[in-house]
Structure 1
């Protein structure tokens, strides 16, 4: 079973559409978004183009209240907001997500410092994060720590990750070379 991991889409609708079309074509049924979707229109677009489960950890550029209200009003059955909606701006611990897929415990968040703490905790097989926009993989103890890059294509080529929970194979997908 494969999951797609995206981050830092920053309202780039053309890139989001291209990635979601590829994800649907590959029959991937779960997306983890590591934050910086930005506004609720982008989430609306995601739900229109992707019928699988969407798990979201908030980032620093997200309209958290707008996204939360959209999810409440539309009652999306496939969207799961992880963590709390912060009561103040700049709350970094609000968007921590965890899922178990195929027996693998997967953590995800936006900020690399928090992701490192999650990896060091020993609770996860793999932890994903965003924020830096740079695709990256390292190992913390027995946990893989991964940044899938950014879907917006800011500073680095637009990218996302595909993780096969059965084989533990991790692939970086560069948007401009996708079929």
Structure 2
């Protein structure tokens, strides 16, 4: 799927139904005039996905995580809100010639990075902020938006420069 390369992208993961943190992050994302969110899984409840879609009018690209239990209902929410695109276990987007792939699982991220087909790769699951280069591919974990077992974080990715800025929720 080809997206516009003119804007930065918000990358979030592991929001775990924490609406307070989700609303705070969405407010910041809107102020930055960001039009696309990549969510690397573990939204958790379909009602929370619906809240995100109501509060953010741009595109929301989502892959499922291990605690996204009611995937059938989440797909129903995506049908109701046309700004949600569910990709399943992995998603792939192109921004101005830069190929970005995302998943929930670190083991799958490592495998995808080794293929050398992607410029940027985002993943979640372990709630640990991480950045590592494997060949031409940069793997990044934006951490946990919920703030479970770590500080609440997310990332802003600029496809023009292939750089990501880590945002600490407590500082916005």
Q: TM-score, normalised by structure 2?
A: 0.93
- Report how far residue 65 of structure 1 moved: 1.6
Task: Give the 3-state SS of the residue equivalent to 1:20 in structure 2.
Answer: helix
Residue 114 of structure 1 corresponds to which residue in structure 2?
108
Q: Are residue 69 (structure 1) and residue 63 (structure 2) matched?
A: no
Query: Aligned match of 1:78 in 77, 83, 90?
Result: 83
Q: CA RMSD in A?
A: 0.8
> What 5-or-longer segments of structure 2 have no aligned partner?
1-6
Q: Which of structure 1's runs of 4+ aligned residues deviate more than 6 A?
A: none
Instruction: Write the distance in 1 (CA, Å) between the matches of 2:150 and 2:38.
Output: 20
Q: 1:101-140 maps to which residues of 2 (within 5 A)?
A: 101-140=95-134
> What 5-or-longer segments of structure 1 have no aligned partner?
84-94
Instruction: Write the distance in 1 (CA, Å) between the matches of 2:96 and 2:146.
Output: 29
Task: Give the 3-state SS of the residue equivalent to 1:163 in structure 2.
Answer: strand
Instruction: Write the distance in 2 (CA, Å) between the matches of 1:142 and 1:103.
Output: 14
Query: Aligned match of 1:11 in 17, 22, 38?
Result: 17
Residue 147 of structure 1 corresponds to which residue in structure 2?
141
Residue 4 of structure 2 corresponds to which residue in structure 1?
none
- Report how far residue 140 of structure 1 moved: 1.0
Instruction: Write the distance in 2 (CA, Å) between the matches of 1:153 and 1:173.
Output: 12
Q: TM-score, normalised by structure 1?
A: 0.90
- Report how far residue 141 of structure 1 moved: 1.2
Higher strand share: 2
- Report how far residue 101 of structure 1 moved: 1.4
Instruction: Write the distance in 1 (CA, Å) between the matches of 2:160 and 2:136.
Output: 17
- Report how far residue 6 of structure 1 moved: 0.2
